[in-house]
């Protein structure tokens, strides 16, 4: 019993000091299972390489500089697309949320274009812009835009009318109300929109890179398929998962903790 308790107490203390440990531990059995199945020889190694092979491939691709370059390409594309999507989406969402006439006009259009999913645009984009960065950027901005617009509008409308009135009767102009009341009140929904947008955008980016790509994680994976390198495909998949973890854990979640959760707008 005592060694078990000791291990438990060690785990608790470590996770308290390094919260990251808590998100790593659940993966230990997953990786172990993978290693066992790979080592059992049930599948030929070219079909299912073990974790060690993937780590080795990771090392060599990092060493050659391919992985860092591709990763950077993908992340920059996503970041630029997401920034543009937000820069367009938040003001549009505020407009649609605040103004009934704009809402009546734009809402059906928004729903219509939202339904034409990101990569459904690829055929026509490829004709218009070819296998270019423009095509890729268009797809990402498009994917990020709609969740941001729709959620921002929802958030704007969820701000109680009393808060508008309170601000106005304390001397705020209409423009000030947007900045001081509407945007912070809509922030939890904007974050949800951003989270969805980034999630969809990330997937759309990979898909686009597979089709359009000359670089990036999606291209790496598709290129690996051509070369028959399952190791690199698996590596690409793992990088995708890890990257989302980082975006969520280091960027989105801390913002949410410091805003909506702190203000009691969202329950923890």
Partner 1 sequence: MKSLTLRNVSKTYFDPYAGAHVTAVSDASLAVGQGEFVSIVGPSGCGKTTILNMIAGFIPVSSGEILLNDQPVKGPGPERGVVFQSFALFPWKTVLENVGFGPKMRGLPKAECDKIAREYLALAGLADAAERYPNELSGGMQQRVGVVRALANNPEVLLMDEPFASVDAQTRMTLQEELTRIWQERRPTIIFITHDVSEAVFLADRVIVLSKGRVLKELAVPLPRPRVWDRLIEDSAFKALSGQVLQLVRSA
260/242 Cα distance (integer angstroms):
25
Binding mask 246-265 for partner 1 (x = CB under 8 A): -------------x--xxxx
Binds partner 1 by CB under 8 A, chosen from 32, 87, 133, 166: 166
Binds partner 1 by CB under 8 A, chosen from 51, 117, 184, 199: 184
Binds partner 1 by CB under 8 A, chosen from 169, 226, 227, 250: 169
- Residue 18's region, left for phi above 0, alpha for psi from -120 to 50, else beta, is beta
Q: How far is the CB of 51 from partner 1 (least distance, A)?
A: 45
Does position 102 bind partner 1 by CB under 8 A? no
Q: Are 205 and 133 in contact (CB under 8 A)?
A: no
Does position 157 bind partner 1 by CB under 8 A? no
Binds partner 1 by CB under 8 A, chosen from 6, 13, 22, 176: 176
34/113 Cα distance (integer angstroms):
41
Cα-Cα-Cα-Cα dihedral of 189, 192, 194, 197, to 10°? -120
Does position 167 bind partner 1 by CB under 8 A? yes
Distances (CA, A) of 30 to 51, 196, 241: 11, 26, 14
Binds partner 1 by CB under 8 A, chosen from 181, 190, 204, 235: 181
Binds partner 1 by CB under 8 A, chosen from 53, 180, 203, 222: 180
- Burial of residue 259 (number of CB atoms within 10 Å: 0-12, 13-18, 19+): middle
Tell me, what DSSP letter sits at residue 159?
S
- Residue 81's region, left for phi above 0, alpha for psi from -120 to 50, else beta, is alpha
Q: Give the count of residues interacting with partner 1 (CB under 8 A).
A: 22
Minimum CB distance to partner 1 smaller for 170 or for 227: 170
> Which residues contribute to the site for partner 1 (CB under 8 A)?
160, 162-163, 165-172, 176, 180-181, 184-185, 187, 259, 262-265
């Amino acid at each position: 019993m005592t060694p078990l308790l000791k291990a438990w107490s060690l785990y608790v203390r470590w996770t308290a000091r390094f919260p990251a440990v808590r998100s790593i531990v659940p993966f230990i059995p997953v990786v172990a299972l993978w290693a066992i199945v790979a080592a059992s020889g049930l599948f030929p190694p070219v079909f299912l390489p073990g974790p060690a092979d993937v780590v080795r491939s990771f090392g060599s691709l990092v060493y050659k500089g391919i992985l860092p370059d591709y990763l950077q390409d993908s992340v920059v594309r996503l970041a630029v697309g997401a920034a543009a999507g937000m820069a367009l989406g938040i003001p549009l969402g505020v407009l649609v949320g605040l103004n009934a006439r704009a809402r009546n006009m734009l809402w059906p259009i928004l729903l219509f274009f939202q339904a034409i999913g990101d990569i459904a645009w690829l055929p026509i984009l490829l004709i218009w812009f070819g296998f270019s960065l423009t095509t890729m950027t268009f797809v990402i901005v498009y994917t990020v835009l709609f969740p941001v617009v729709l959620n921002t509008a929802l958030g704007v409308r969820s701000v109680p009318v009393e808060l508008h009135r309170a601000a106005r009767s304390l001397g705020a102009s209409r423009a000030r109300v947007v900045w001081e009341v509407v945007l912070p009140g809509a922030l939890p929904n904007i974050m949800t929109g951003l989270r969805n947008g980034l999630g969809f955008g990330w997937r759309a980016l990979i898909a686009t890179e597979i089709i359009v790509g000359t670089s990036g994680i999606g291209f790496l994976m598709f290129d690996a398929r051509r070369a028959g390198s399952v190791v690199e495909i698996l590596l690409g998949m793992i990088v995708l998962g890890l990257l989302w973890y980082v975006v969520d854990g280091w960027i989105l979640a801390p913002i949410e903790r410091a805003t909506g959760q702190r203000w009691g707008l969202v329950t923890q």
